[in-house]
A = this chain, B = another copy of it.
């Protein structure tokens, strides 16, 4: 008999780590279309905000070519711990960052960043080694090309990280639509254009019937 244990996202036990979503580095991402990638990253930001998940921002050399943190994220989390790393490539090598993670008291970590095989994979592997449950938000993490992405995924899978995408994250955190239909529906409407269309078609139908 299998002894698999379903490590399931629990909104009371999750912290979000946004690693190096900087404007320069974003210009290197080519495994997603720019529109898709922007949407995915901002969807993750909205999820963190909606579920009030403790969120930690970190950047690498933001005064250099890597560029500043994407402004939308900066604006969305004005009070979040913000660690501008002076040089550590693996965020987990930075004591302030690890302390910020520990300070959340959470044991499940949602990680996304640029580039996948470095800024995401390195802290993911470090966190796994320290016993955290690691969930990679794969579509809010970008890199140079598909081959690089596949290799990065392979390494993280082998280490026990769970690969998810932002929509699955939102659903697993929410558990039950009855907790808030309006709120989750709005989030989906804002980040899933085709779901927004379904909603609009549906509402139009209802409005017509009501006449």
Contact = CB atoms under 8 A, between A and B. Distances in A.
Interface of A: 1-2, 4-6, 8, 23-24, 26-28, 30, 32-39, 60-68, 70-71, 86-90, 93, 115, 117-118, 121-122, 125-126, 128-129, 131, 133, 138-139, 144-145, 147-148, 150-155, 157-160, 162-165, 167-168, 171-172, 174-179, 181, 192-202, 204-206, 208-210
A68 B201 contact: yes
A5 to B, nearest CB: 6
Nearest to A117: B168
A4 B129 contact: yes
Contact of A1 (B131, B196, B197): B131
Which of A93, A131, A144, A210 is packed against the most chain B CB atoms within 10 Å? A144
Indicate how many identical chains form the complex: 8
Contacts of A65: 195, 198-199, 201-202
Question: Which 4 A-B residue pairs are closest in the complex by CB-CB distance?
Answer: A209-B209, A87-B178, A205-B205, A67-B201
A39 B62 CA distance: 27
Contacts of A23: 196-198, 200-201, 204
A2 B131 contact: yes
Contacts of A208: 63, 209
Given A6-B129, A157-B154, A167-B118, A30 B28 contact: no
A164 B89 contact: no
B154 A153 contact: yes
Given A63-B208, A206-B205, A175 B88 contact: yes
Contacts of A115: 167
Given A89-B171, A115-B167, 8 more contacts: A1-B131, A4-B160, A27-B197, A89-B175, A151-B163, A158-B160, A198-B201, A201-B201
Given A33-B33, A87-B178, A155-B164, A194 B27 contact: yes
